[in-house]
Amino acid sequence: MVPSTPSLADGRACVSLTRTAPGTRGAGLSEAWFGVGGASPSPVGGGGAAAGARAPLVTAPGAATMTQSVVVQVGQCGNQIGCRFWDLALREHAAVNKKGIYDEALSSFFRNVDTRNGGGDADIHKGKIFSLKARALLIDMEEGVVNEILQGPLRDVFDSKQLITDVSGSGNNWAVGHKLYGYQYREHIVEKLRRTAEHCDCLQCFFVIHSMGGGTGSGLGTFVLNVLEDEFPEVYRFVTSVYPSGEDDVITSPYNSVLAMKELNEHADCVLPIENESLFSIVSKIHQMTSSGKLGSTVKQNSLLTSSAGSIKTEQEKPFDAMNNIVANLLLNLTSSARFEGSLNMDLNEISMNLVPFPRLHYLVSSLTPLYTLADVNVPSRRLDQMFSDAFSKDHQLIQADPKHSLYLACALLVRGNVQVSDLRRNIERLKPSLHFVSWNQEGWKTGLCSVPPVGHSHSLLALANNTCVKPTFTELRDRFMKLYKKKAHLHHYLRVDGMEQSCFSEAISSLSDLIEEYNQLDATKSAPGTYPSRLKIAM
Amino acid sequence: MSIVTVQLGQCGNQIGYEVFNAICNDFHSTHGLCSKKENESYQEACKERFFSEEKTGVPVARAVLVDMEPKVISRTLSIAARSGHWRYDHQSHFCQKQGSGNNWANGYSVHGPRYRDVIMNLVQKEAEKCDRLSGFFTVMSMAGGTGSGMGAFVTQCLRDAFPTSFILNQVIWPYGTGEVIVQNYNSVLTLSHLYQSADALLVHENDAIHKICAQLMNIKKISFRDVNQVIAHQLGSVFQPTYSSEGASQYSRSPLGDLMESLVPHPEFKMLGLRNIPQMSENSLTYSTFTWPGLIKHLRQMLIANAKMEEGIDWQVRPPLPGHPVPPKASPNKALHFNTSIANLVVLRGKDVQSVDLGGFRDPALYTSWLNPQEAFKIWKTPRAFNKYEKSASLVSNSQFLLKLMDNIVGKAWNMFASKAYVHQYTKFGIEEEDFLDCFTTLEQVLSSYASL
């Protein structure tokens, strides 16, 4: 972990702010954030760790002491999702943070920077919010998406030093992304990552967002994953990967995906696979429910899992926005307990610890409920229980999978909002009998309670399952790969890239097959009765 | 003499707060039901035991707060201060940023040694504030990473630094159906390590307390706060001042010493259970009256039948009759009917404590044969009522209370260990498979010892 060089601003220099021009921020963010006047608390000394020293910081309460995460968004898909994430993150914090004070929750994903004249780029750790900058790295080998972001309402959230772009794209070719651009941009990438890490007091996690089927997200994205492991071995690597569907119009997506899978197998701590078909079904379902006469008028618009209502984005939503919002919400919920308080915290390192029983089995199937909340606030516990049931239904999973009929290795439930431990326990007891858990983890539940609900909801649930139901996604991928590979279709496009050899392909498919085999072996234990190992005998 | 409390991890800190809060509320109680003089003695003793005096007049809890992430401690410090009646010393805490990730090895092998000096300094400072130090409470859960792993390490450090002080670990047993998936590993590692350094382990089970909240307190939507408040009440009911011997004129100066002396005659047997009666919601309290014979009868049967609360007690269970052959003890996996004790302590508070007949607890049939029943059973009492209960009785027992529970946890952990699941997460931080085996061996030993009583 790179030690930070802290810079404390003297809070008393925090004079009244001039309002930023309307239109650069949008409706929805609390006016208080850009308000005038008011004393800011003077900073208490705290960030004095010498560079390199691992000496403990005995900090005064109030100093920024939480961990930070950095988002690395790679490729077109990765950046589109990333953009939605930052937008909704700002919305979420604005809803909770009424006073416009830069607090610890915000610091997990945002820096606070004084961008006024002569302010430089120094981080301001306490006091009023000046200008929030995302802890992010935006990487794309085409300029389209990133340029759009930089011209859009979120432009002030990113600074130009956080971007790596090129013009010609990767041609849907993993080898171009990974070997060509990877080699070319490695130093750039390392340098920018280091800079982002230096702004973090205590960097805990990298979130990589990308798609598997193309060239940049898939190839360069997994290259970055390697770099993260090499340069920051202590920092967790959570990867959100969008897998291609069967009807994907990119012919070579199976190659790209399988080549990327090998990297995910070997270098990611946790992977959250996502499939567009699932996102699309959820979007359709919501659309159906809200436009049908009955519920349409009573649904709280900003509660829709797919909605950007209340965020900065004011222009019309693009077709993928709704789907991408779902993934953005996934990441927000995943990190909620690390940012906000609750009676049973679930930090990111706990997710990896509890859900990954063997190093390579780190693929987690996720589901989010509820999809929307009705404006009628009265929530009997029956509705709460419905939320728990829905989390296990195949319609709510973010990949095409049915966890209920496969084998659980472990399951995590992260609850947000007004839910107590008794609600949690009641529902686990109720749902347990219909779920199959592996014999050595019959009570494999990890739970978390975060007090702060998402925008528009009184409570919500994120379920993360390490479940063999992920296997079909992989076997189908393998089948599609083999169809192409047997005919050697398009291979030459890959092999002509420097550093790319046939063995890359054979190793990749082998890695995938091994993974599938591990899941097969676990599935085989599902029907066999558990044989319990005999205990140690003590001689008296 | 004073007790210094070390609150470890989220659970330890949340509960520690409730304990000090309950004690402080009891301190201020106007329902003491005793003479003014008595009340003043009680308050004096309570203060010395748990709080230090500050110039501002607001009592400061004798506590050190430790956690590897900052949210809980910062909340705990502020809600205590807001109460106006007591607070923590805001220098007496240590936290880091990352948490232990529910990883016992991370807590024990990484965080422990790394922050040992800072933490022990804080403990030393608190100890120095005491005129006379009786010993330490630690409060921690077994399921997580900080309370359990770092707690085990800190307990060892306490033992090394204060070889003559008593150490009582309050250990929270997690819900059987997961809060944390690796909780059984963490529990096995914690218990086996604590056994080496602590004088005794006082166990509180989330499942049992949860039932109390549901059935006795009638709480509909039970939160961790509710659970923690019940635990705090139970602890307060034991450790608030009492007279520990017949005819004593002063409140006991050394509660931990007295406890260890009565209940832990042999280092192989350190597991203590706690029962408290009556337990009910405040509303019901105003309409209820109790008689001592009734309370004592229930408490005795709770001991014999290993019941966790005063409802649903199995009255069929009986101690073996004298002269009849003792039925062969079932192995730990089969349901134990009769709970054999090594030693028991009953604490009585409130009206008419002088007249209470505790003969039933002196029955030799309840105990193993090593100790004279006179030695195996002790009473502490005070006429000063506790926490609005006109009469209350608590039982601290060194018996087979925890045998089945412990056996369960060891069994599940062993089952998981056989498949090697999650072991890589521990070896990453230096706890190897051999270390696991050592811990299993230690605990099987303890189980065997308790089973053969």
Domain contains A535:
no
CA distance A432 to chain B (A): 10
For residue A385, count other CB atoms closer than 10 A to its CB. 15
d(CA A365, CA A514): 19
Domain identity same for A396 and A496: no
Of chain A residues 365-404, which have a CB less than 8 A from chain B? Answer: 381
Give the model confidence (pLDDT) of B238-265 as tens digits: 999 999 888 788 888 889 999 999 999 9
| A330: CATH | 3.40.50.1440
Contacts of A53-60 with CB under 8 Å at 24 or more apart are A53/A3, A54/B114, A56/B94, A56/B96, A56/B114, A56/B115, A56/B118, A57/B96, A58/B94, A58/B118, A59/B70, A59/B95
Residue-level pLDDT at A24: 34
Q: Are residues A377 and A350 in the same domain?
A: yes
| DSSP code string of A417-441 | ES--HHHHHHHHHHHGGGSEE-GGG
How far apart CA A468 and CA A516 sit, in angstroms, is 9
* Same domain membership, residue A78 and residue A153: yes
Cβ B182–A354 below 8 Å, yes or no?
yes
Structural domain contains residue A302: no
* A498 in the same domain as A444: no
Distance between CA atoms of A183 and A206, rounded to whole angstroms? 21
Which of A473, A505, A534 is a domain's end point?
A: A473
Helix (H, G, I), strand (E, B) or coil at A457: coil
B218 interfaces chain A, CB cutoff of 8 Å: no
Phi, psi (degrees; rounded to nearest 5) at B129: -70, -20
- Domain contains A175: yes
Give B-chain residues touching A451 at CB under 8 angstroms: none
Best of B68, B119, B177 to disrupt the A interface (most A CBs within 10 Å) is B177
CB B17 within 8 A of CB B25: no
Q: What angle do CA A116, A121, A125 make, to 5 degrees?
A: 95
Nearest CA in chain A to B104: A353
Domain count, chain A: 2
Picking from A446, A473, A500, the residue at the C-terminal end of a domain is: A473
How far apart, in Å, are the Cα atoms of A33 and each of A43, A96, A102, A285?
19, 12, 9, 36
Do A349 and A200 have their domain in common? yes
Flag residues of chain A having pLDDT under 50. Answer: 1-64
Q: What is the Cα–Cα distance from B282 to A231, expressed in whole angstroms?
A: 58
Residue A98 located in a structural domain: yes
For residue B23, report the phi and psi dihedrals to the nearest 5 degrees: -65, -45
Q: Are A447 and A482 found together in one domain? A: no
Query: Which domain range does residue A283 map to?
Result: 68-295+318-473
Which residues 15-54 of A have a C-beta within 8 angstroms of B? 54
- pLDDT at res. A294: 58
Write out chain B in H/E/C secondary structure: CEEEEEEEHHHHHHHHHHHHHHHHHHHCCCCCCCCHHHHHHHHHHHHHHHEECCCCCCCEECEEEEECCHHHHHHHHHHHHHHCCCECCCCCEEECCCCCCCCHHHHHHHHHHHHHHHHHHHHHHHHHHCCCEEEEEEEEECCCCHHHHHHHHHHHHHHHHCCCCEEEEEEEECCCCCCCCCHHHHHHHHHHHHHHHCCEEEEEEHHHHHHHHHHHCCCCCCCHHHHHHHHHHHHHHHHCCCECCCCCCCCCCCHHHHHHHHHCCCCCCCEEEEEEECCCCHHHHCCCCCCHHHHHHHHHHHHHHCCCCCCCCCCCCCCCCCCCCCCCCCCCCCCCCCCCEEEEEEEEEECCHHHCCCHHHHCHHHECCCCCHHHHEEEEEECCCECCECEEEEEEEEEHHHHHHHHHHHHHHHHHHHCCCCHHHHHCCCCCHHHHHHHHHHHHHHHHHHHCC
**What single letter denotes the amino acid at residue A146?**
V
Query: A387 and A290 in one domain?
Result: yes
CB contact A69 to B (< 8 Å)? no
Q: What region, left, alpha or beta, does residue B87 occupy, with left being phi > 0 and alpha being psi -120 to 50 degrees?
A: beta
Residue A481 and residue A469 share a domain: no
SS3 (DSSP) at A410: strand
**A516/A456 same-domain check:** no
Residue B227 at interface with chain A, using a CB cutoff of 8 Å: yes
**In angstroms, rounded to a whole number, what is the distance separating the alpha carbons of residues B58 and B14?**
21
Instruction: Convert B100-117 to b/e letters by CB count within 10 Å (16 or more is b).
Output: bbbbbbbbbbbbbeebbe
A56/B115 touch (CB, cutoff 8 Å), yes or no: yes
Distance in Å, alpha carbon of A326 to nearest chain B alpha carbon: 27
Q: Which residues of B touch A62 (CB under 8 A)?
A: 74
pLDDT computed for residue A2 by the predictor: 33
Torsion angle (degrees, nearest 10) of CA B316, B317, B319, B325? 90
CATH code of the domain covering residue A482: 1.10.287
Q: What is the pLDDT of residue A47?
A: 31
B79 lies within 8 A of chain A by CB: no
Q: Does residue A280 lie within any of the structural domains?
A: yes
Instruction: Give the class (CATH, top level) of B277-400.
Output: alpha beta
Rounded CA separation A216/A220 (Å): 5
> Is the same domain home to A491 and A360?
no
User: Are residue A445 and residue A500 in the same domain, yes or no?
Assistant: no
Show which of A456, A473, A490 is a domain's final residue.
A473
Q: What interface predicted TM-score (ipTM) does this complex get?
A: 0.84
pLDDT of residue A380: 61
Query: Is B427's Cβ below 8 Å from some Cβ in A?
Result: no
pLDDT at B192: 96
- Does a structural domain hold residue A91? yes
pLDDT attached to residue A327: 95
> Cα B118 to the chain's mean position, in Å?
26
The reply to whether A204 falls in a domain is: yes
Q: Which chain A residue lies closest to B412 (C-alpha atoms)?
A: A440
The single residue listed with the structure tokens 């659980």 is: A408
CB neighbours of residue B314 within 10 Å: 12
* Superfamily of B2-273 according to CATH: Tubulin/FtsZ, GTPase domain (3.40.50.1440)
A491 shares a domain with A406: no
Angle, helix B403-418 to helix B183-197, in steps of 10 degrees = 120
What is the location of CATH 3.30.1330.20 in chain B? 277-400
Tell whether B418 lies on the interface with A, counting CB pairs under 8 A. yes
> What is the nearest CA distance from B348 to chain A, expressed in angstroms?
32
Tens of each residue's pLDDT in chain B, 453 residues = 899 999 999 999 999 999 999 999 999 988 888 889 999 999 999 999 999 987 788 999 999 999 988 889 999 999 999 988 999 999 999 998 888 889 999 999 999 999 999 999 999 999 999 999 999 999 999 998 999 999 999 999 999 999 999 999 999 999 888 789 999 999 999 999 999 999 999 999 999 999 999 999 889 889 899 999 999 999 999 999 999 888 788 888 889 999 999 999 999 999 999 999 999 888 888 778 889 999 999 999 999 989 988 888 888 888 877 665 555 554 544 444 788 999 999 999 999 988 899 998 988 888 988 778 788 899 999 999 998 899 999 999 999 999 999 999 999 999 999 999 999 999 999 999 999 999 999 999 999 999 988
